[in-house]
Amino acid sequence: MNRLIFLVDMNAFFISCEMAKNPKLKGKPAAVAGDPKKRSGIIFAANYEARKFGVRTTMVLHEAKKLCPELITVPPNRELYEKKSKEVMDILSRYTPVIQQNSIDEAWMDLTGCEKLFGSPVEIAENIMGTISRELDLWCSIGISENKFLAKMGSELKKPRGITELYVKDIKEKLWPLPVREMYGIGKQTEQKLMDYAIYKIGDIACSNVEFLKSNFGKYGEELYRLSRGIDNSPVVPNPLYDSKSISRSTTLPQDTNDLEYIKNVLMGLAEEVGYEARKSGYKGKTVSITIKYEDFTVVTRQKTVTPTYLTKDIYTNALRLFEANKNKNKLIRLLGLGLSNLETDELEQISIFDLVEGKNNTKKEETIEKTIDRIRERFGDKKIVRGSMLKNSKGI
Ligand SMILES: [Mg+2]
């Protein structure tokens, strides 16, 4: 049976939340922006009135003001966007429990089999869009397809307030004429490399030789080929709930040990999983904690406050410090746990790509790198990317 997958993407989300809260902003060019006193303040989200003047996300504020002198700016309000995001997800969950939030302002829904309950795909989409608008005074675009990739691509085709069906049978006409940069997942580097091979449009990828793509882009080339042909079997994986505001992992060791090198590997593995989960859900944590259970079943839990992070490297470094400061050398360890808590939404994550391009900010750079690793991991499974430090020490026990 064909699946029915939606991607619901909120339109100009941050500034729309501000407009819903303060209707005086409606109909006027407005944007959420960094501190206007600093020349470096940038636009985080512009409404459609402001976009008409050419104001864009990541634009420096004084540049935006030049284009649109009457631009009204409001400072970012993280709590508000987080709350509204949750309200949107609550509405979506009335239609299906199978929802995978992709970022603060978008989510996939698996509605396979729901037509009988709610009507045709377009009717369901209209219903969702109407409910969100009525209850939250926010607008969205919805892509409808039989898989996640095409649903995402469909949602991008018509904004704002668009409902777009994009099935495999439509891709020659609707997807293939688009430039490769518009393909979900393609970054600047891949775009450049494709163009070096005279591959300009998504259709050019689809009509390339898959062996050629594989030899130049590795497994990713094969993935690009498959997606360009509208093939994506990845499931909609519901996100875990973050009501508890923490992400944690633990593992019982194959045998009790106090071998530090081995323990470092275990902590790195746990940090990888926790960091991955945090980045995927767009949360950074302010507290890193470890749990050590010894051979005699006594348990020690320790935590420390850190600069909000979802980077594997930071989580690991802090966990290791906690471990070294608190371990009992005389006992063997039976179980290790690692947690990240005091989570907050990484509201400005879209900026990271910009910073990488500009080469401005090392943390942003690392965040982008780790997210790229995550993408590759999602495509090819867990084992493909292993950190150098894990390889060096993978002696097992
Ligand atoms: Mg979005």
Which of 18, 49, 106, 367 is labelled catalytic? 106
Annotated active-site residue 126? The verdict is no
Q: If you search the block for the tokens 């494709």, which residue do you land on?
A: 194
Q: If you search the block for the tokens 């009717």, which residue do you land on?
A: 123
- Listing DSSP states for 77-100 in one string gives -HHHHHHHHHHHHHHHTTT-S-EE
Rounded to 10 degrees, the C-alpha dihedral 208/211/214/215 comes to -110
Model-level pTM? 0.64
Q: Model confidence over 213-258: pLDDT tens digits?
A: 999 988 889 999 999 999 999 999 887 654 446 888 888 888 889 9
If you measure from the C-alpha of residue 260 to the centroid of ligand 1, how many angstroms do you get, rounded to a whole number?
Answer: 43
Q: For residues 346 and 310, is the Cβ–Cβ distance under 8 A?
A: yes
Gyration radius (Cα) of the chain, Å: 23
Q: Please state, rounded to an integer, the average pLDDT across all residues of the chain.
A: 86
Contacts of 200 (CB under 8 A, 6+ apart): 179, 180, 194
Q: For residues 144 and 136, is the Cβ–Cβ distance under 8 A?
A: no
Question: Which phi and psi (to 5°) does residue 275 adopt?
Answer: -65, -45
Please give the Cα distance from 93 to 278 (Å, whole number): 21
Number of C-beta neighbours around residue 291 at 10 A: 16
230-244, 268-282, 308-322 — which one is most confidently predicted on average? Answer: 308-322
Q: If you search the block for the tokens 């690392």, which residue do you land on?
A: 366
Pick the CATH number of 171-228 from 3.40.50.1100, 1.10.3720.10, 1.10.150.20, 1.10.150.530: 1.10.150.20
Please give the Cα distance from 259 to 19 (Å, whole number): 57
Q: Report the top-level CATH class of 24-76.
A: alpha beta
Q: Is the pLDDT of residue 181 over 50?
A: yes
If you measure from the C-alpha of residue 94 to the centroid of ligand 1, how many angstroms do you get, rounded to a whole number?
Answer: 21
Report the relative pairing of strands 43-46 and 30-33 from DSSP bridges. antiparallel
Domains 171-228 and 246-392 share a fold: no
Q: Model confidence over 71-110: pLDDT tens digits?
A: 999 998 888 998 999 999 999 999 998 999 888 899 999 9
- Strand partners for 335: 252, 293
If you measure from the C-alpha of residue 188 to the centroid of ligand 1, how many angstroms do you get, rounded to a whole number?
Answer: 18
Please give the Cα distance from 343 to 291 (Å, whole number): 18
If you measure from the C-alpha of residue 141 to the centroid of ligand 1, how many angstroms do you get, rounded to a whole number?
Answer: 9
Domain covering 5-12+79-169, topology:
Alpha-Beta Plaits (3.30.70)
Cis, peptide link before residue 121, omega less than 30° from 0: no
Break the chain into its structural domains and give their ranges. 5-12+79-169, 24-76, 171-228, 246-392
If you measure from the C-alpha of residue 105 to the centroid of ligand 1, how many angstroms do you get, rounded to a whole number?
Answer: 5
Does the domain spanning 246-392 belong to CATH 3.40.50.720?
A: no
If you measure from the C-alpha of residue 305 to the centroid of ligand 1, how many angstroms do you get, rounded to a whole number?
Answer: 31
Please give the Cα distance from 370 to 117 (Å, whole number): 41
If you measure from the C-alpha of residue 103 to the centroid of ligand 1, how many angstroms do you get, rounded to a whole number?
Answer: 7
Q: Indicate the residue type of 271.
A: A
Q: Model confidence over 23-75: pLDDT tens digits?
A: 999 999 999 998 766 655 889 899 999 999 999 988 888 899 999 999 999 99
- Strand partners for 327: none
- Strand partners for 326: none
If you measure from the C-alpha of residue 385 to the centroid of ligand 1, how many angstroms do you get, rounded to a whole number?
Answer: 27
Read off the DSSP letter of residue 54: T
